[in-house]
Amino acid sequence: MAGQLAERGHVLIGQSGGPTAVINASLVGAIHEAQRLDAVDGIYGALNGIEGALARRIIDLRRESAATLQALLHTPSAALGSCRYKLQPEDPARAVNLMRELGIRYFLYIGGNDSADTAHRVAQAAEEMGYDLRVIGIPKTIDNDLPVTDHCPGYGSAARFIAMMTQDSARNTEAMPEHYPVKIIEVMGRYAGWLAAAAALGRQKPEDAPHLIYMPEYAFDPNDFLSRVRATVRQRSYCVVVVAEHLADAAGRQLGEAMAQGVDAFGHPLVAGVAQTLVDLVRSELGMRARFDKPGDMQRMSTMHISATDRDEAYQAGRMALRYAVRGVTGKMVTLVRTNGPRYACETGLADLERIANEQKLMPANYVTPDGVNVTPAFLDYVRPLIGDPLPQHATLRGERLQ
Amino acid sequence: MAGQLAERGHVLIGQSGGPTAVINASLVGAIHEAQRLDAVDGIYGALNGIEGALARRIIDLRRESAATLQALLHTPSAALGSCRYKLQPEDPARAVNLMRELGIRYFLYIGGNDSADTAHRVAQAAEEMGYDLRVIGIPKTIDNDLPVTDHCPGYGSAARFIAMMTQDSARNTEAMPEHYPVKIIEVMGRYAGWLAAAAALGRQKPEDAPHLIYMPEYAFDPNDFLSRVRATVRQRSYCVVVVAEHLADAAGRQLGEAMAQGVDAFGHPLVAGVAQTLVDLVRSELGMRARFDKPGDMQRMSTMHISATDRDEAYQAGRMALRYAVRGVTGKMVTLVRTNGPRYACETGLADLERIANEQKLMPANYVTPDGVNVTPAFLDYVRPLIGDPLPQHATLRGERLQ
Please write down the HEC assignment for all residues of chain B: CCCCCCCCEEEEEEECCCCCCCHHHHHHHHHHHHHHCCCEEEEEEECCHHHHHHCCCEEEHHHCCHHHHHHHCCCCCCCCCCCCCCCCCCHHHHHHHHHHHHCEEEEEEEECHHHHHHHHHHHHHHHHCCCCCEEEEEECCCCCCCCCCCCCCCHHHHHHHHHHHHHHHHHHHHHCCCCCCEEEEEECCCCCCHHHHHHHHHCCCCCCCCCEEECCCCCCCHHHHHHHHHHHHHHHCCEEEEEECCCECCCCCECCHHHCCCECCCCCECCCCHHHHHHHHHHHHHCCCEEEEECHHHHHCCHHHCCHHHHHHHHHHHHHHHHHHHHCCCCEEEEEEECCCCCCCEEEEEEEHHHHHHCCCCCCHHHECCCCCCECHHHHHHHHHHHCCCCCCCCCCCCCECC
CB of A173 within 8 Å of a chain B CB? The answer is yes
Amino acid identity, position B372 = G
Residue B5 has what pLDDT? 59
Residue B174 has what pLDDT? 96
> What is the H or E stretch that residue A29 is in?
helix A23-36
Among B63, B74, B77, most A C-beta atoms within 10 A, so best to mutate, is B77
Looking at the fold, whether B137 and B202 belong to one and the same domain comes out as: no
Residue B90 CB neighbours (<10 A): 10
Asked whether residue B2 is assigned to any structural domain, the reply reads no
> Residue A39 CA to chain centroid, in angstroms?
32
| From B169, B175, B300, residue closest to A296, measured CB to CB | B169
Mark the ranges of chain B whose per-residue pLDDT is less than 70: 1-7, 257-272
Instruction: For residue B220, give the CATH number of its domain.
Output: 3.40.50.460
A-chain residues within 8 Å CB-CB of B58? 401-402
Give every CB contact of residue A235 below 8 A, 6+ residues apart in sequence: none
A-chain residues within 8 Å CB-CB of B19? 171-172, 175-176
CB of A393 within 8 Å of a chain B CB? The answer is yes
CA distance A40 to chain B (A): 17
Looking at the fold, whether B235 and B135 belong to one and the same domain comes out as: no
Range of the domain at A76: 9-141+305-358
Looking at the fold, whether B22 and B32 belong to one and the same domain comes out as: yes
Give contacts of B 268-327 with A, CB under 8 A.
270, 272-273, 276, 279, 283, 289, 291-298, 300-305
Asked whether residue A3 is assigned to any structural domain, the reply reads no
**Start-to-end CA span in chain A (Å):** 79
Residue B276 has what pLDDT? 87
For residue A15, the SS3 value is strand
Looking at the fold, whether A85 and A119 belong to one and the same domain comes out as: yes
Among B166, B172, B387, most A C-beta atoms within 10 A, so best to mutate, is B172
Looking at the fold, whether B20 and B147 belong to one and the same domain comes out as: yes
Beta pairing class for A58-60 and A40-46 = antiparallel
For residue A299, the SS3 value is helix
Looking at the fold, whether B219 and B320 belong to one and the same domain comes out as: no
Is residue A330 within 8 Å of residue A314, measured between CB atoms? no
CB of B178 within 8 Å of a chain A CB? The answer is yes
Give every CB contact of residue B214 below 8 A, 6+ residues apart in sequence: B196, B220, B225, B241, B242, B243, B244, B247, B373
Among B168, B182, B187, B403, most A C-beta atoms within 10 A, so best to mutate, is B168
CA distance A188 to A272: 11
Looking at the fold, whether B146 and B163 belong to one and the same domain comes out as: no
Give contacts of B 180-209 with A, CB under 8 A.
183, 185
Mark the ranges of chain A whose per-residue pLDDT is less than 70: 1-7, 257-272
Looking at the fold, whether A72 and A87 belong to one and the same domain comes out as: yes
Asked whether residue A394 is assigned to any structural domain, the reply reads no
Instruction: For residue B20, give the CATH number of its domain.
Output: 3.40.50.450
Decide if the complex's ipTM is over 0.90: yes
Residue A178 has what pLDDT? 87
B-chain residues within 8 Å CB-CB of A272? 276, 279, 291
Asked whether residue A150 is assigned to any structural domain, the reply reads no
- Tally of structural domains, chain A: 2
Residue A259 has what pLDDT? 44
Asked whether residue B113 is assigned to any structural domain, the reply reads yes
Looking at the fold, whether B296 and B318 belong to one and the same domain comes out as: no
Give contacts of A 62-81 with B, CB under 8 A.
63-64, 68, 71-72, 74-81
- Active site residue ranges of A: 143
Looking at the fold, whether A296 and A347 belong to one and the same domain comes out as: no
> Residue A10 CA to chain centroid, in angstroms?
29
Asked whether residue B399 is assigned to any structural domain, the reply reads no
Give contacts of B 90-149 with A, CB under 8 A.
102
Looking at the fold, whether B188 and B260 belong to one and the same domain comes out as: yes
Asked whether residue A247 is assigned to any structural domain, the reply reads yes
Looking at the fold, whether A298 and A315 belong to one and the same domain comes out as: no
Residue B1 has what pLDDT? 43
Asked whether residue B4 is assigned to any structural domain, the reply reads no
Q: Cα-flanking dihedrals φ and ψ of residue A294, to 5°?
A: -135, 90
Residue A268 has what pLDDT? 52
Least CA distance to B21: which residue of chain A? Answer: A168
Taken in order B371, B372, B378, B379, is the CA torsion positive or negative? negative
For A37, counting Cβ atoms within 10 Å of its Cβ (0-12 exposed, 13-18 middle, 19+ buried), the class is middle
Closest CA to A324 of A46, A40, A82: A40
